[in-house]
Amino acid sequence: MGGVDRFDGGPRSAIVVGAGIVGLSTAWFLQERGVGVTVVDRSGVASGASWGNAGWVAPALTLPLNSPAVLRYGLRSLLDKGAPLHIPMTADRGLATFLMQFAASCRRSTWRRAVRANVPLNEEAIEAFDVLVANGVDAPVTDAPITAVFRSTDAAERMLAEMRELEKAGQELHVTGLSGEALREQVPLISPAVTAGLSINNQRFVDPGRFVHALGRAVVERGATIVTDDVLDLDDSAGQVKVSTAAGETMTADAVVVAAGAWLSRLLRGRLRVPVQAGRGYSFTVPVDRPVVGPIYLPDARVACTPYQGALRVSGTMEFRDPEDGVDTERVAAIIASASPLLEGVRWTERRDVWVGPRPVSPDGRPLIGEVTRGVYVAGGHGMWGLAHGPVTGRLLAEHITTGKQPEALREFNPLRRTGR
């Protein structure tokens, strides 16, 4: 590690709390700038949302959750536990606060602001993966279009209109309409119920667990230590930041980065005005009778399907519940019920690796990235796009920490803002 690009008096040591894609990417890019790093995670590398997600590196699909349509849909689905978006009828104070701020943020203007804010991250997302892979992260990143499939051309046109909002904000899009034999050739698993498709080109996908574990190994090989322990408290009252753990350890560093996913608000209690809530997602793996060469998106069911270890990983649902809660089998059944009419040759009853994990969601559709108090930084709240935006977030935050200058791309993600501001 060379001590490049470090401003006078900049940090020589950092503790990163969280060993998912965001935390490990930040650790890697801090090392690239000459900072010694210790990573602490309550359960180890890729133990949360970084393992079981769909694995999409899909800048063209990074649409924020807080659209007016999602609010309308969420209200209609309150009594339907099988709906893709599930909001419990009862909520604790923290969830109730989040839901009120989320509802207030489901305005077209707030949503469009989040769309615009994502564009700089999207522009560098794939390149940041390339940098990691070119410099020792030994895991494949596969180029492939993501094919969205629909029962009708009207549904395809509605999704395309939503994607055009990204294009208006400056996002480059390459989308091709598909039907008939061309659609079935690209997605051999679709059923006769599917009549239209959109090929969203120039996207990528990974095996997320494999990639994040490879990133963890690379960080260790570059001199970091990864500690499995639960962080209980941060003390930034002195010149350095102290981290206290459940095992009774006290670690000290010049800077601390909290990249703890759905546990951000708990660790930074009293320091953040924007709450981060667990939006739990489910996934499982199923064998298929025909080969799948690229990801499949079922927008109406809000289900993502990705080639995975010779089979198909099926991911879906957004469930606002405590991150510690276990698997709800009714949610898995709901995913199958919504996806199975659109796909054939999928052996649903032979599913394995059923998983649930908490994705960190902010109410206004923008993650929290930056300095909270002197020497304490945060990176999280990316919602469904933590994997796609993890490496670029780490690169930009490492630049901010080591130079003392906030990159322009991070200005909209001020962690000290109030919701929507």
Domain positions in the chain: 13-413
Task: Tell me the mean pLDDT in the region 163-179.
Answer: 94
Q: Which long-range contacts (CB under 8 A, 24 or more apart) does 95-103 make?
A: 95/277, 95/320, 97/275, 98/275, 98/277, 98/320, 98/363, 99/320, 101/274, 101/275, 101/363, 101/364, 101/419, 101/420, 102/66, 102/71, 102/277, 102/363, 103/71
pLDDT at 317 > cutoff 80: yes
Q: Which residue has the tokens 């009419």?
A: 341
* Secondary structure of residue 275 in the 3-state scheme: coil
Length of the chain: 421
Q: What pLDDT score was predicted for residue 96?
A: 83
Residue 346: half-sphere exposure toward Cβ, Cα within 13 Å: 27
Question: For residue range 192-203, what is the model confidence (pLDDT) as tens digits?
Answer: 999 999 999 999
- What mean pLDDT is reported for the chain? 92
End-to-end CA distance of the chain: 38
Report, as an integer, the average pLDDT of 290-312: 95
What is the structure's pLDDT at 4? 37
Give pLDDT tens digits for 126-151: 999 999 999 999 999 999 999 999 99
Per-residue pLDDT reduced to its tens digit, 351-401: 999 999 999 999 999 999 999 999 999 999 999 999 999 999 999 999 999
Radius of gyration, alpha carbons of the chain: 21
Q: How crowded is residue 269: how many other Cβ atoms within 10 Å of its Cβ?
A: 10
Torsion of the alpha carbons at 399, 408, 110 and 419, rounded to the nearest 10 = 50
Residue type, 103: A
Q: How confident is the model at residue 9 (pLDDT cuts 50, 70, 90)?
A: low
| CATH level 3 topology of 13-413 | FAD/NAD(P)-binding domain (3.50.50)
**pLDDT tens column, 19-42:** 999 999 999 999 999 999 999 999
Residue 64, pLDDT > 60, answer yes
Q: Categorize the per-residue pLDDT at 2 as very low, low, confident or very high, splitting at 50, 70 and 90.
A: very low
Which candidate, 40, 8, 24, 20, places its Cα nearest to that of 250? 40
